[in-house]
Amino acid sequence: MSTFKQFTLFQTVCSLLYDGHGKSSEIPEGTLNSLFLQRLGGGDEYNAVNPPWLSEENSTITIEPWKTEELWKLATRKEDQKPRYANFPVVIVRYKNQNYLIDGVKRVSMWHATGDMAEHSVYIITVHN
């Protein structure tokens, strides 16, 4: 008899991020938090407050369709490298009413460069204050 563990959406997103960005010394939730802190690292938000450790207890995840042009506005750097996975959802953390694109910059850049103005799936991780 086999057992199947039901993953929550939070665990699924963490695992996807870990597969693309994780270091062997990290846990999947650590990869999410590392990316979040990197994204906050240069801004006033990081310097003004002690950002939370993102977890299932202090956040919720929704899946929303976003147009490329909306995602492009969040891209803090523009990439010309081909993404590893062209059709994966991108990941945004919504913290203190601000959206931070933490995964998918290469995908967004590719969609923008090729004129793809379609809607794409976005995981929105909303942090509860």
Does 40 map to a domain?
Answer: yes
CB 40 within 8 A of CB 100: yes
Q: Is residue 4 part of a domain?
A: no
CA 128 to chain centre: 16
Whether 46 maps to a domain, the answer reads yes
Q: Judge whether 52 and 58 are in contact, CB under 8 Å.
A: yes
Q: For residue range 80-105, what is the model confidence (pLDDT) as tens digits?
A: 667 666 678 899 999 999 999 999 99
Which domain, by its residues, includes 116? 9-127
Residue 66 falls inside a structural domain? yes
Is residue 63 included in any domain, yes or no? yes
How many structural domains compose the chain? Answer: 1
What are the pLDDT digits (tens) for 3-44?
Answer: 545 568 999 999 888 887 777 777 888 899 989 988 887 555
Domain presence at residue 94: yes
Q: Residues 76, 101: contact at Cβ < 8 Å?
A: yes
- From 39-53, 64-78, 108-122, the region with the lowest mean pLDDT: 39-53
Residue 3 belongs to some domain of the structure: no
Task: Give the residue carrying structure tokens 């996975």.
Answer: 85
Please report whether residue 82 resides in a domain: yes
